[in-house]
Amino acid sequence: AALAAAREDEEEKELRQRFMAPPVSGLRELRRRRRELRSRMELLIMETQAEMCRALAALDPGASFTVDSWERKEGGGGISCVLQDGEVFEKAGVNVSVVSGLLSEEAARQMRSRGKSLKAKDGKLPFCAMGVSSVIHPKNPHVPTMHFNYRYFEIEEADGTKQWWFGGGTDLTPTYLNEEDAIHFHKTLKEACDKHDLKLYPKFKKWCDDYFYIKHRGERRGIGGIFFDDMDSPSKEEVFQFVKSCAKAVVPCYIPIVKKHCHDSFTPEEKLWQQLRRGRYVEFNLLYDRGTKFGLLTPGSRIESILMSLPLTARWEYMHNPPESSKEAEILEVLRNPKDWVH
């Protein structure tokens, strides 16, 4: 018994060192329920957060992450890790949240509009949601902005049956187009998808291009990647393994691009174009993003963490049109007409 307890303490110490902060559910609780998918998903999002934060910190040694653990009185909490005003990153955030409680009527309406038949008991729908979400805004206009998010949802209906699904994706938003980087990014994501089913990458690449569409501008937010939601088949275990492959692809698809360009020289005009593109990023996130909307509709949610995706600086100029055949016009062309990067 003493040996088992010592081994448990050792394991706990190792996990603590591996993560950015103690998990929301507590290490003991996660170990007790280690076979349950909810616990395995929480461990995966904690690991993904730590891997990404360490990879980013290694590229920006003068800066450090502020690590904020927060609690939600309605149930659960989260860990926000934000690096601000570094040499390489203007703002980089990697958040984990594990929340539970009762779904607000507004959030339930949003889900029903996506085709979910949710049968509430006395108007109440107990839910559990967890995910890791990150947005990275670099200083250099030649380093793209990147976003990823992987999440799991569980809802208990009136008769006690549980509905569950996964969602997520990873996408890239360059200020200037670099074809080599676009190919590397998409190929890495395609390899992660192909391990599970060759049909997934083309399907989720198209979904990504369609989802990150700024309707009022007639352009995509970036050059895409993968995006999926409401994924609940073939089985819980198979979808979890797929999500795990995608989460493990986050560092290799992005970090080499940052390393390659973070010391590139740039002009004030290029910086200005980056600020204008950031404005588009803000427009999408505040007007269309489903995650932002869900967060703002969830009682007791942490606004600072939800709006972490917004850049530190952005700009809106009246009637700004780049010259024809310029590098600025080149990226606009791809945002209006998405390309197949891997074939």
Surface-to-core class of residue 42, CB atoms within 10 Å of its CB (0-12 exposed, 13-18 middle, 19+ buried): buried
CA distance 51 to 53: 6
Count of residues making up the chain: 343
Cβ partners under 8 Å of residue 152, min gap 6: 37, 38, 41, 129, 130, 131, 164, 165, 166, 243
Distance CA 166, CA 247 (A): 12
CB distance 297 to 110 below 8 Å:
yes
Asked about 147 being catalytic, the answer comes back as: yes
273 residue type, one letter: W
How far, rounded to the nearest angstrom, does the alpha carbon of residue 153 sit from its chain's CA centroid?
A: 15
Point out the catalytic residue in the list 137, 147, 184, 186: 147
Report cis status (omega within 30 of 0) of the bond before 234. Answer: yes
Measured over the CA atoms of residue 86, residue 335, residue 172 and residue 59, the dihedral's sign is negative
Give catalytic residue positions.
147
